[in-house]
Amino acid sequence: MSRVIRNVRAQELQGSRAGVASRSLAFGADIGVAFLIYVLIGAVVSILWDLFFSSKLSVPRPSGWFSAGAIFWILVVYLALGWGSTGRTIGKQVMGLRVVRVDGGPLRPHAAFLRALFCAVLYPGLLLALVDRRNRSVQDVVMKTVVVYDWIPESGRPRVLPQGAAPVPVAVPARSGETRA
């Protein structure tokens, strides 16, 4: 992966707060990914059920409330995993966005889950970014997060220890048949 941003406009925007249009497009893509995951899980479960427990192949038609609930929870888990690990989801990666804490650090897993739940429940809260001078949504204000433009992949970031921190020694286990002194 290249660590250099070649587009001049992308260089100018790198690290600045993302606007409502790019955030909306990213969230729309994420909803599409959640729906695709739901369809794939449904297809796999249906095929396995029909192979092992049924005498015929059929396509199930779950009720609307079940589908809506399943997609909702898939979306929450998907967003939480993305934001809690790299600060990105597929939609955010495509749009060159990253969710970080106000101090610039990565979201902790519990904060990522709460923000994902809040975003899935109150998506129109993003409309606050239209009038907020810092492009914050309701979710950003409550969870103390910010969405920034960031095109550099996670693997391209240098791992930096906090000042004054020493590397943690890692014990190397002995291989089978060897002894360590």
- What the block records as the tokens of 50 is 């029909």
3-state class of 165 per DSSP? coil
User: In terms of residue numbers, what domain contains 93?
Assistant: 11-53+62-155
When divided into structural domains, the chain yields a total of 1
178 is a domain residue: no
Amino acid type, 175: R
160 within some domain = no
In a domain, 73, yes or no: yes
**Is residue 128 classed as helix, strand or coil in its secondary structure?**
helix
**pLDDT greater at residue 173 or residue 64:** 64
Q: Does the residue 108 lie in any domain?
A: yes
Share of the chain above pLDDT 90, in %: 52
Residue 72: inside a domain, yes or no? yes
Q: Whole-angstrom Cα distance, residue 59 to residue 32? A: 21
The answer to whether position 6 is within a domain reads: no
Q: Name beta bridge partners: 101.
A: 145
77 within domain boundaries:
yes
Q: What share of the chain is helix, strand, coil (3-state, %, to 5)?
A: 55, 5, 40
Structure tokens at 157: 């970031």
Q: CA Rg, the chain, in Å?
A: 21
Q: Is the pLDDT of residue 149 over 70?
A: yes
Tell me, yes or no, whether 175 lies in a domain.
Answer: no
Total-model pTM: 0.78
- Whole-number mean pLDDT of the chain? 83
21: left (phi over 0), alpha (psi -120 to 50) or beta: alpha
Cβ partners under 8 Å of residue 25, min gap 6 = 91, 95
